[in-house]
């Protein structure tokens, strides 16, 4: 579509230029005017169409970053799923985990609502990690009690569909999750370290973490997205993380993300990396 618009605009410009040089060849200016107007209309339509996908290639290391609207669980890639520090999995009627959240969808769509299987994989993945605290059941009646360090990443499943369960928020005993920019940045760095060990030559897809119920309300979707992208690119300069990172944005969040500015932001980062 964009190529066609550009071509149409180019033809219109040529016609106008020729008409100026050889006015006798175009005694009736109407065709030239009509062509120019049509080109402008097509250009305007092309600009007005919502951008739902941006893609940027990087060098040193070779990698691709994609930001797109879509369904995270339909991606042919490893997934990143955000968890709280207790790695709770049971929705408990929506009190602990919202069933419509990404984590709730993980249980439903990757584990077919098989909660024991998900818990068994988490227990195995966290076996070598020492909890930093343990809640009393009287204070936290629902869910799990062991608290793990922020930044803990549990690798679940098997290839070609691994799930990186990353703890980037703390859940209170009132079942309200909270995080901060510092916690998210630290957790992302730990996440990239784990991804580089398990999925360096492959693609990884993740949601816009922090835009849900983790109480990062003081950052809008644009700021969260740029934080994620900067973290990934900064870490990739130290060594390859994965061949492609896809940040999958829900349709409900897309209108709050300025995709043309995201594209420009990625181009600037790619230019800076290539010149370094």
What is the structure's pLDDT at 219?
79
Distance CA 62, CA 176 (A): 40
- In our burial notation (b when 16+ CB lie closer than 10 A, e otherwise), range 229-263 reads bebbbebbeeebbbebbbbbbbeebbeebebeebb
SS3 40: helix
What is the structure's pLDDT at 27?
57
What is the structure's pLDDT at 50?
80
Query: Distances from the Cα of 125 to the Cαs of 68, 161, 163, 271, in angstroms?
Result: 30, 15, 11, 38
Numbers of helices and strands, H then E, in the chain: 8, 10
276 residues of the chain, pLDDT tens digit each: 444 444 444 444 444 544 554 555 555 555 545 544 554 444 444 445 689 999 999 998 999 999 999 999 999 999 999 999 999 999 999 899 998 899 999 999 999 999 999 999 999 999 999 999 999 999 999 999 999 999 999 999 999 899 999 999 999 999 999 898 999 999 999 999 999 999 999 999 999 987 765 556 667 888 899 999 999 999 999 999 999 999 999 988 888 899 999 999 999 999 875 555
What is the structure's pLDDT at 165?
98
SS3 84: strand
Residue 102: is the preceding peptide bond cis (ω within 30°)? no
DSSP-assigned states of every residue in 166-214: EEEEEE-TTS-EE--HHHHHHHHHHHHHHHHHH-TTSEEEEE-TTSSSS
Beta-bridge partner residues of 63: 58
Dihedral sign computed on CA atoms, order 76, 66, 156, 180:
negative
């Amino acid at each position: 579509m964009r190529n066609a618009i550009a071509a149409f605009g180019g033809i219109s410009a040529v016609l106008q230029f020729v008409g100026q040089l050889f006015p006798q060849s175009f005694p009736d200016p109407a065709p030239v005017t009509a062509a120019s107007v049509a080109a402008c209309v097509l250009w305007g339509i092309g600009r007005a169409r919502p951008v739902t996908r941006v893609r940027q290639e990087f060098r040193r290391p070779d990698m691709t970053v994609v930001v797109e609207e879509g369904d995270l669980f339909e991606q042919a890639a490893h997934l990143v799923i955000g968890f709280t520090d207790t790695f709770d999995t049971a929705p408990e009627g929506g009190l602990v985990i919202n069933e419509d959240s990404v984590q709730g969808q993980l249980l439903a769509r990757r584990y077919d609502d098989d909660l024991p299987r998900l818990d068994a994989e988490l227990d195995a993945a966290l076996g070598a990690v020492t909890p930093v605290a343990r809640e009393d059941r009287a204070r936290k009646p629902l869910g799990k009690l062991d608290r793990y360090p922020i930044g803990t990443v549990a690798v679940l499943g098997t290839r070609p569909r691994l799930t990186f369960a990353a703890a980037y928020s703390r859940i209170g005993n009132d079942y309200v999750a909270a995080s901060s920019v510092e916690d998210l940045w630290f957790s992302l760095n730990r996440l990239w370290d784990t991804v580089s060990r398990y999925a360096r030559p492959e693609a990884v897809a993740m949601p816009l973490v922090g835009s849900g119920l983790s109480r990062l309300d003081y950052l809008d979707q644009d700021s969260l997205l740029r934080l994620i992208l900067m973290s990934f690119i900064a870490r990739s300069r130290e060594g390859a993380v994965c061949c492609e990172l896809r940040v999958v944005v829900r349709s409900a969040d897309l209108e709050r993300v300025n995709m043309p500015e995201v594209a420009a932001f990625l181009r600037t980062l790619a230019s800076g990396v290539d010149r370094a």
